[in-house]
Structure 1
Amino acid sequence: MSVVQAPSAPTHTLGGTTFTSLATPSRGSTTDNSLWRVQLAPGTTPTPHSLTREEIFLVLRGTADVTIDGVQETALTGSAIVVPSGVPFGLGNDGDEPVELLCCLPVGGQAQLGDGTLLTPPWAQ
C-alpha cells in the first residue's frame, strides 16, 4: 500500500495528548516503521519514559518542551527531536497553543515507564 489516507479523527487519547495512527501495521500499511501524529494540548506536562528503540519527532506546529536524559531544551516548528533508545525523556507543552508533531518509531518499539513497566504504544501498532 503506497498511499494511506489519514483517519478523520485522532485514534487514541492519553491525558492532554492525542495520537493519530497514520502508517502502522494495524492499518495494513507497514511492517518496519510506524508513523503517527501527536498533538499536545496547552499545559500538557511530560510523562517521563524511555524507549527500546530510537524514536524521532518532527515539530509541525508550536513549541515543544523537551527533556532528554535530564537535559531540557525547546523544540521549535521544523525541529527534529531524536530520542535514543534507553534514555529517559518527556515532551510537554507549557505554551498557550497546541503543539503538533509527527513521530516515527520502528515497529516493535516499546516504552518503558518509570516503574519498569513495558508498554507497546497502541497508536504505533
Structure 2
Amino acid sequence: MPIIHASEAPTFDMPNATFTGLAAPSRGAKETCVWKTRVHPGAQPALHSFDHEEVLVAVSGAAVAVLDGVEHQVTAGDAIIVPAGTEFGLGNPHDEPFEAVVALPVGAMAFMNGQSLVPPPAK
C-alpha cells in the first residue's frame, strides 16, 4: 500500500488556487484520484465540469460553490457532490484560504474554456 507523504506530494499552482496531488495513477492509485485544493482569498470561481462525479469535502475556511450558475455557501465540514456534466467552480470572497479534499475517478476528463484535459493532480 503506497503512502503519499505530504512533504513529497506534488503541488500545482494556478492563479486562484493551489492543488496538492495525493492519490493518482502516477502515485499508485488505480481507481480514485484525491487531491487537496487551497482556494486563495479573493479568488473568483474557475468554472469547469467533469465527465464523472466530483466530490469535495471542505476542510477549513469558507467559500462560494457555484453549481450550474447557482451560488451556495460552503464552510468547513460540508461536502459538495458535483454530478457529471455540471458546471462548477469555487470562489473565495473571504480573507482566509479555503481548503478542501477532492475525490474523482481515475481517468476523468475536465472541460474548461473549450478544452478537455486530465487535471494535473489526477495524473
TM norm structure 1: 0.92
**Does structure 1 residue 87 correspond to structure 2 residue 76?**
no
In the other structure, the counterpart of 2:119 is: 121
Percent identity of paired positions between Structure 1 and Structure 2: 41
Please name the residue that 2:3 is paired with.
Answer: 3
Instruction: Within 5 Å, give how 1:70-109 maps onto structure 2.
Output: 70-109=69-108
For 2:25 and 2:7, locate their aligned partners in 1 and report how far apart those are by CA, in whole Å: 15
SS at match of 1:15: coil
Number of matched pairs: 123
Q: Is the 8 A contact 1:33 1:104 kept in 2?
A: yes
1:3, distance to aligned residue in structure 2 (A): 3.2
Q: Is the 8 A contact 1:110 1:121 kept in 2?
A: yes
Task: Report the Cα offset of residue 2 of structure 1.
Answer: 4.7
Gaps of 5+ in 1: none
Q: Give the structure-2-normalised TM-score.
A: 0.93
The one-letter code sitting in structure 2 at the alignment partner of 1:20 is T
CA distance in 1, matches of 2:85, 2:32: 18
Q: What is the one-letter code of the residue matched to 2:6?
A: A
Tell me, yes or no, if the aligned pair for 1:57 and 1:101 is still in contact at 8 Å. yes
Which consecutive segments of 4 or more residues in structure 1 shift more than 4 A? none
**Alpha-carbon spacing, 1:44–1:10, altered in 2? closer, same or farther (3 Å):** farther
1 CA distance for matches of 2:91 and 2:7?
A: 24
